[in-house]
Amino acid sequence: MVVLTALLLVAFVAGVFGSMLGVGGGIVMVPMLTLAFGVPIKTAVATSIVCVIATSSMAQTSFVSRGMTNIRLGMLLEVATSIGAVAGGVTAVLVDGRFLQVAFAFVVFYVAWQMSRRRGDVVPVQTGLLEAGYYDPASGEDVRYGVRRPRLGFVLCLGAGNISGLLGVGGGAFKVPIMNLLMGAPLKATIATSNLMIGVTAATSAAIFYGRGYMDPYWVVPSALGILAGARLGPRLAARMSARALSLTFQVVLAIFGLLMLLKAVGVPV
């Protein structure tokens, strides 16, 4: 009972941050499960994948109502991320896993540094491409924006899907910066849209993990329930926070992701 209660709490926190930042929270669930609860790594990864789906579905119910999710942008980039993820097996043969983990860490540190230099959100520009708008409760303004550099964003999403397919984590950590820094969509819209996208690759992975028998309901059910509760709260926090504070939180979480990936590269089961 103590274990289950602790797991519910951990999952709740992961659900809040995962949905608030559009990163799914899976990357935090894996080390918590393996290091704090002694769960075998494959079971932990299977559990975290279900957590990502739960985060994505629950967070969307709130983000879509607020008009923050750009469904068309999400669907377009999902083509890239899902193809990238399926092609992960090809890359795995070509590149050493440890090299990828270290590369992931440095890319994530670089992205965090780029975000910190910006000191705030992108200035929305009407480009006439995939335009959307939402009401931002933090600033009290209606935000209208368009998207820039769709081709480059698409190609980078192929890479993001590929890497997250290989490492099993990190989809949102790249999708948010690609849509925000590169394609010029405001942070809140990218977080909401990333939340929608991560469910797609996670659902595919989860179906595979179920087929292979790695799902253990003892860990999955309390984690999923905790995540669902947390992911109801996360989008509300994201909507109300200033873009500056949200960006700062994102940078801290990116740095944690990078450190975890470096730990993984030296053999710690996270």
Partner 1 sequence: MDPVERTVKAILLAGIAVSVALMAVGLVLGVAHGTMLPRAMVSLSALPSALARLDPAAYVTLGLIVLVVTPFVRVVGSLVAFAVERDRAYVLITATVLVVMCLGVLLGRA
Which residues lie near partner 1 (CB under 8 A)? 50, 53-54, 56-58, 60-61, 64-65, 67, 69, 71-72, 75-76, 78-79, 82-83, 85-86, 88-89, 165, 196, 199-208, 210-213, 215-218, 220-222, 224-225, 228
In the complex with partner 1, which residue's Cβ is closer, 63 or 109? 63
3-state secondary structure of 191: helix
* Least distance (Å) between residue 242 CB and partner 1: 25
* Least distance (Å) between residue 250 CB and partner 1: 23
3-state secondary structure of 24: coil
* Least distance (Å) between residue 252 CB and partner 1: 28
In the complex with partner 1, which residue's Cβ is closer, 156 or 262? 156
* Least distance (Å) between residue 57 CB and partner 1: 5
Q: Is 55 in contact with 19 (CB distance < 8 Å)? A: yes
3-state secondary structure of 141: strand
The tally of CA atoms less than 13 A away on the side-chain side of residue 108 is 28
Q: Structure tokens of 266?
A: 């030296």
In the complex with partner 1, which residue's Cβ is closer, 204 or 249? 204
User: Considering Cα of 108, then 190, then 171, then 28, what sign does the dihedral take?
Assistant: positive
* Least distance (Å) between residue 245 CB and partner 1: 27
The dihedrals phi and psi of 47, each to the nearest 5 degrees, come to -65, -45
CA distance 50 to 57: 11
In the complex with partner 1, which residue's Cβ is closer, 38 or 217? 217
In the complex with partner 1, which residue's Cβ is closer, 75 or 252? 75
In the complex with partner 1, which residue's Cβ is closer, 20 or 224? 224
**DSSP characters for 28-50?**
HHHHIIIIIH---HHHHHHHHHH
What is the amino acid identity at position 233? L
* Least distance (Å) between residue 222 CB and partner 1: 8
